[in-house]
Structure 1
Amino acid sequence: MSQQTQSENEIDAVTFEVLRSGYEHTADRMSTVLQRTAFSPIIYDMVDFSNAIFTPNVDLVGQTANCPIHLAAMHFSAEASLEEFGVDELGEDDIVLLNDPYNGGTHINDVTWTQPIYDSSDELLGFGVSRGHWTDLGGGGPGGQSWGTHIAEEGLRIPPSKIVENGELNKTLLEILKSNTRSPQYIEGDVQAHRAALTAAKDELHRLERKYGADTVRQGMSDVLDYTEERTREAIREIPDGRYNARDYGDCDGITEDSIYLDVTLIVDDDEITVDFEGTDDAVAGSVNSPKANTYSAVYYALKFFTDPDAPANAGMYRPIEIELPEGSWVNPDWPRPVIGCTTFAASKICAVIWQALADAIPEEIVAPTYSECNWFTVQQEDPETDDAYVWSDLPPGGWGGTPSGDGMETTADPLGNCMDLPVERSELLFPVTVDRREFISDSGGDGEYRGGLGLRETFTFHGYAELSVETSRTKEGTPGVNGGQSGGLGRLIKNYGSDDEEVIGGWKTDSDEWEMCLIGSEPFQPGESFTIETQGGGGWGDPAKRDPEAVREDVRDGKVSRETAAEIYDVDIDGE
């Protein structure tokens, strides 16, 4: 009898793989629908969104490769929505919306939608969850980037609320959303796009149910989680047991120039890892604090790179990882601390410090830190011809760190995002701006046996009056290298680059020991003035003296490394070649 029961509950290998792929396909289809129907450029062009499906127990089981920083955090959002209403009070045609950083969210711009999905017997089959970064939800600066001292300055904070009930859109809530944004023209279109993505999730899970039955679909979810857990534990066993510590920092909080430190100790014990943030600085006055959901997500994606990245990405990976966060620290703050920079500023530093700690554990496998930023800026701008007002964002990328087998990637989005920067053609088509320059910065990659990727210099000239808010980091010191590799190039923010009126407004001033704060809110630009951002290079891997001289010569020919650096750092003389 027991053997018969076990056989009935088992899923053969082929069915298991089809179901696993089906969960991922469901999330992929959600993302395709969202991207093709959204109204906001930050969603349809820059891919600043994520979609996933969850088990009836609210475990992540299928996701798209969109924003890693969203994915584990969405678990907290879904849980908060269910705690507010309860599963019994939610029908299949109900959708809960929230963005509250202190109730399952990250920063206010990330709006999360949760919808239960029921099988043909009206039993819970799972949840569809969709999250998108909305361009603007009010606040003291465009995009919520006020860099103030209270979360109310960052925009409209929404607790778990039914945006759709029994299939009917909550028009009052919709009007509240439209009334609290600088870009109301995007809201209704983005609302419908998220609803369409969730409909796609429902359709795909129902399709799996019709083919395999609801019990098999649920069993497959459980098996996939167990499978990823097993593979993750096997990968952790390959890391030597021990305690590995690293320390890193963010440049400032937008209020003071003081650096904000992260202290991380990784404790590896057989097939488990504890990530302990004891020693991390307390919460700060400015807007770079990281709420719990954001910090957890950053830890998970940082470790995923080195704990079997090919295993299915789901909540099974979380089981062998314990996270310890000091109460009241800047990676676990209390209300009303502001948090707008949590996903871009804080998360990237959490990833970087974990990679640096792992460098002591697996030096021959570790990758040097990326530029560890998103360089997120938002512009509120007037069109001088039509008097229309616009709000738009960009995420200029920087360099990735060198690897054990090759140079870091040039100007590629940080691991937290998988996002795209706004295409030049789209910028100039939609907004009163010209992109005058977009080029690699020579010598910005950290020197090493394998060089860090190069940073980017990009210039925007505004045709109408504009206010710019921007956050960046790695402007005091460059991205750290590992195993003897050197730091990558610094970030800088410049007004009117190359003109007689050139002014460094963020980072080290030219030929000076004066440093300007790198988090800026509502900086005014007159028509015809330009903004230039110089993004950071990736850290180097290994001793520069071991670099292949031919690789140095090729870098010089390509303009990636100067002749001076080739001679001084790599001892390669290019003269006469």
Structure 2
Amino acid sequence: MSQKTNQKQNIDTVTFEVLRSAYEHTADRMSTVLQRTSFSPIIYDMVDFSNAIFTPDVNLVGQTANCPVHLAAMHFSAEASLDEFGKDELDADDIVLLNDPYNGGTHINDVTWTQPIYDESDELLGFGVSRGHWTDLGGGGPGGQSWGTHLAEEGLRIPPTKIVEDGEINEALLGVLKSNTRVPQYIEGDVQAHRAALTAAKDELHRLERKYGAGTVRQGMHDVLDYTEERTREAIRKIPDGEYSAQDYGDCDGITKDSIYLDVTLIVDGDEITVDFEGTDDAVPGSVNSPKANTYSAVYYALKFFTDPEAPANAGMYRPIDIELPEGSWVNPNWPRPVIGCTTFAASKICAVIWQALADAIPDKIVAPTYSECNWFTVQQEDPETDAGYVWSDLPPGGWGGTPTGDGMETTADPLGNCMDLPVERAELLFPVTVEEREFITDSGGDGKHRGGLGLRETFRFHGYAELSVETSRTKEGSPGVNDGHSGGLGRLIKNHGMDDEEVIGGWKKDGDEWEMCLIGSEPFQPGESFTIETQGGGGWGDPTNRDLDAVREDVRNGMVSPETAADVYDVDVESE
């Protein structure tokens, strides 16, 4: 296929805006198709997927607002696919699949599909790229959450491979996929759903080609990238020049109880930012290491909040940002370090530490860190009535940090993904489980002039034997506040909450003298036993003594803040009033 690039042409303002919107609409349509046709609840209900279109030069130009942690990483996936086969070797009806964390992927569950799109003259018009989190691809624990010490324990690792060639499905690869999962019933449906999403991308770009011409479509892509770059550079110029540093940590790696530290220095110089991770801990034995693609993605979405978030979200934003990663660190590990927690555990800490560094640069604009987690757990369960086996996941949300203008959002998904937690009704309909409790946790938001959002307590009772693997953090200390705001509430994992045999299996025990590992693999639950997760609150913004006293009283009336905290922290004696 030809890769000829048309000479630059001028595009009028109206056509530019139409094309800019059309690139985003193309990705939106891909996501609508994927969500409506997939077989996996984690895709069709929890929205753990992303779709995008790329230029012929493999630059992201249109995306949906699904999982930010996927999007920049998909660039690495597309590049790896093209490095393996070459643009000249890919035909219009070929699709390349991969999930290899050390060859364009992130963690093994995130499966990426790349398809070239050609115009009517057989010249490359762009690429459609679709990524979805697949429920299970084997490994030592349900959903790959074994929390072991080798990548092989996390599931089937797939290098760039043609899943579709000349329009025909690769039956051998499909058989391998179905043979290496606990839920083969999802595989064929999800394969077809991703193919349909890529077909939607092709249809939309061809529609634009018929209306405007292929050259205009390609030129519009380049212009949109330049436009975002210009707006991003202008936003960076508003950040004072200087070096701004911060440190944060993850609670453990699932092997030892040692904290894992993350150091970052932001160097702002005119219209460019360097993000330097020098001083960050080396790669760890456990499964929270972050491959390069994942780390880059986390940096970009963390900065997007404060570098013109209204600008079109595309690869033009990446141009003024330089990222320096120490080789062999836990944000740039080498094979075979395990990585299953990279998108949920590591990415959220990368975002949090960047926000804390920015607090020194733009204190009047910064937002306090969110609960900085995903609280991802996966259950392998038997139905006691039918003996059927299931694997299902959930992503219980926590609180966002306080802002310069108001309190943080209560129990909202972390910035790493605009995902949904599993709806209670869906969980009880599809799986042998009852959700017994789902409520805000009083006092879990970090105190501040603007307090952090509240965390969530949710209890699941299993009707059949179950094994649970879970990843969480912020169980040693809460998410930090900024500008003298206080930390948010802690996360905790509990077996049989409120019963005589209640046991804290992750986080601090009630007496506060003993801390249990917060990454758990294949914890057994007998029929009738329950699992409770207490999610974390967001950090507070500003000195709590400056909080509006009527807001404190309202929080007490709504059960957000206890009378004791109102009196001790905010000096409001609600009971006497």
* Residue 73 (str. 1) matches residue 52 (str. 2): no
User: Map of 1:508-519 to 2, 5 A cutoff?
Assistant: 508-519=508-519
Q: Which residue of 2 aligns with 1:281?
A: 281
User: Map of 1:135-150 to 2, 5 A cutoff?
Assistant: 135-150=135-150
Q: Which residue of 1 aligns with 2:575?
A: 575
Q: Which residue of 2 aligns with 1:126?
A: 126
Whole-angstrom CA distance in 2 between matches of 1:8 and 1:376: 47
Residue identity matched to 1:32: T
* Residue 544 (str. 1) matches residue 518 (str. 2): no
Q: Which residue of 1 aligns with 2:189?
A: 189
Whole-angstrom CA distance in 1 between matches of 2:454 and 2:425: 23
3-state SS, counterpart of residue 74 of structure 1: helix
**Deviation of residue 575 (structure 1)?**
1.5
**Deviation of residue 327 (structure 1)?**
0.2
**Worse-superposed segment, 139-148 or 509-518:** 509-518
- Cα deviation per residue 1:507-549 (whole Å; 9 max; x = unaligned)? 0001131000000000000000000000000000000000000
**Deviation of residue 9 (structure 1)?**
1.1
Q: Which residue of 2 aligns with 1:430?
A: 430
User: Map of 1:439-458 to 2, 5 A cutoff?
Assistant: 439-458=439-458
- Cα deviation per residue 1:11-67 (whole Å; 9 max; x = unaligned)? 000000000000000000000000000000000000000000000000000000000
Q: Which residue of 2 aligns with 1:375?
A: 375
Whole-angstrom CA distance in 1 between matches of 2:273 and 2:203: 38
3-state SS, counterpart of residue 117 of structure 1: strand
3-state SS, counterpart of residue 9 of structure 1: coil
Whole-angstrom CA distance in 2 between matches of 1:214 and 1:439: 53
User: Map of 1:343-382 to 2, 5 A cutoff?
Assistant: 343-382=343-382
3-state SS, counterpart of residue 69 of structure 2: helix
Q: Which residue of 1 aligns with 2:529?
A: 529
**Deviation of residue 8 (structure 1)?**
7.8
3-state SS, counterpart of residue 542 of structure 1: coil
- Cα deviation per residue 1:268-326 (whole Å; 9 max; x = unaligned)? 00000000000000000000000000000000000000000000000000000000000
3-state SS, counterpart of residue 43 of structure 1: helix
Residue identity matched to 2:202: K
3-state SS, counterpart of residue 294 of structure 2: helix
3-state SS, counterpart of residue 555 of structure 2: helix
Q: Which residue of 1 aligns with 2:492?
A: 492
Residue identity matched to 1:81: S
- Cα deviation per residue 1:65-89 (whole Å; 9 max; x = unaligned)? 0000000000000000000000100
Q: Which residue of 1 aligns with 2:243?
A: 243
**Deviation of residue 7 (structure 1)?**
12
3-state SS, counterpart of residue 36 of structure 1: helix
* Residue 316 (str. 1) matches residue 278 (str. 2): no
Q: Which residue of 1 aligns with 2:61?
A: 61
Whole-angstrom CA distance in 2 between matches of 1:283 and 1:53: 33
Whole-angstrom CA distance in 1 between matches of 2:147 and 2:324: 27
Residue identity matched to 2:143: G
Q: Which residue of 2 aligns with 1:107?
A: 107
Whole-angstrom CA distance in 2 between matches of 1:9 and 1:147: 53
Whole-angstrom CA distance in 2 between matches of 1:212 and 1:576: 71
Residue identity matched to 2:488: G
Evaluate the alpha carbon distance shift between residue 456 and residue 66 of structure 1 in structure 2; reply closer, same or farther with a 3 A threshold: same
3-state SS, counterpart of residue 112 of structure 1: strand
User: Map of 1:216-231 to 2, 5 A cutoff?
Assistant: 216-231=216-231
Whole-angstrom CA distance in 2 between matches of 1:350 and 1:476: 18
CA contact (8 A) 2:61 2:225 kept: yes
Whole-angstrom CA distance in 2 between matches of 1:284 and 1:568: 41
3-state SS, counterpart of residue 481 of structure 1: coil
* Residue 336 (str. 1) matches residue 336 (str. 2): yes
Whole-angstrom CA distance in 2 between matches of 1:482 and 1:251: 20
Aligned residues: 572
* Residue 258 (str. 1) matches residue 261 (str. 2): no
Whole-angstrom CA distance in 2 between matches of 1:402 and 1:22: 35
Whole-angstrom CA distance in 2 between matches of 1:390 and 1:247: 40
Whole-angstrom CA distance in 2 between matches of 1:472 and 1:63: 28
Evaluate the alpha carbon distance shift between residue 184 and residue 8 of structure 1 in structure 2; reply closer, same or farther with a 3 A threshold: closer
- Cα deviation per residue 1:253-276 (whole Å; 9 max; x = unaligned)? 000000000000000000000000
**Deviation of residue 411 (structure 1)?**
0.2
Whole-angstrom CA distance in 1 between matches of 2:130 and 2:251: 32
Whole-angstrom CA distance in 2 between matches of 1:7 and 1:542: 53
Whole-angstrom CA distance in 2 between matches of 1:253 and 1:287: 6
Whole-angstrom CA distance in 1 between matches of 2:283 and 2:406: 38
**Deviation of residue 576 (structure 1)?**
3.8
Whole-angstrom CA distance in 2 between matches of 1:542 and 1:512: 27
Q: Which residue of 2 aligns with 1:42?
A: 42
- Where does structure 1 differ by over 6 angstroms across 4 or more consecutive aligned residues? none
Q: Which residue of 2 aligns with 1:160?
A: 160
Whole-angstrom CA distance in 1 between matches of 2:8 and 2:150: 56
**Deviation of residue 122 (structure 1)?**
0.1
**Deviation of residue 151 (structure 1)?**
0.2
Q: Which residue of 2 aligns with 1:557?
A: 557
**Deviation of residue 130 (structure 1)?**
0.1
CA contact (8 A) 2:8 2:219 kept: no
Whole-angstrom CA distance in 1 between matches of 2:8 and 2:412: 48
Whole-angstrom CA distance in 2 between matches of 1:262 and 1:7: 45
Question: Percent sequence identity over matched residues?
Answer: 88
Query: What TM-score do the two structures reach when normalised by structure 2?
Result: 0.99
Q: Which residue of 1 aligns with 2:416?
A: 416
- Cα deviation per residue 1:475-525 (whole Å; 9 max; x = unaligned)? 000000000000000000000000001000000001131000000000000
CA RMSD across the alignment:
0.9
Residue identity matched to 1:175: G
* Residue 88 (str. 1) matches residue 92 (str. 2): no
Residue identity matched to 2:450: Y
Whole-angstrom CA distance in 1 between matches of 2:512 and 2:545: 30
Structure 1: tracts of 5 or more residues without a match = 1-5
Q: Which residue of 2 aligns with 1:298?
A: 298
Whole-angstrom CA distance in 1 between matches of 2:222 and 2:487: 44
Q: Which residue of 1 aligns with 2:3?
A: none
Residue identity matched to 2:104: G
Whole-angstrom CA distance in 1 between matches of 2:189 and 2:43: 11
Whole-angstrom CA distance in 1 between matches of 2:529 and 2:510: 19
3-state SS, counterpart of residue 190 of structure 2: helix
- Cα deviation per residue 1:426-450 (whole Å; 9 max; x = unaligned)? 0000000000000000000000000
3-state SS, counterpart of residue 405 of structure 1: coil
Whole-angstrom CA distance in 1 between matches of 2:519 and 2:453: 24
- Cα deviation per residue 1:200-253 (whole Å; 9 max; x = unaligned)? 000000000000000000000000000000000000000000000000000000
Whole-angstrom CA distance in 1 between matches of 2:107 and 2:564: 44
Whole-angstrom CA distance in 2 between matches of 1:534 and 1:513: 19
3-state SS, counterpart of residue 522 of structure 2: strand
- Cα deviation per residue 1:105-160 (whole Å; 9 max; x = unaligned)? 00000000000000000000000000000000000000000000000000000000
Whole-angstrom CA distance in 2 between matches of 1:186 and 1:555: 44
**Deviation of residue 179 (structure 1)?**
0.2
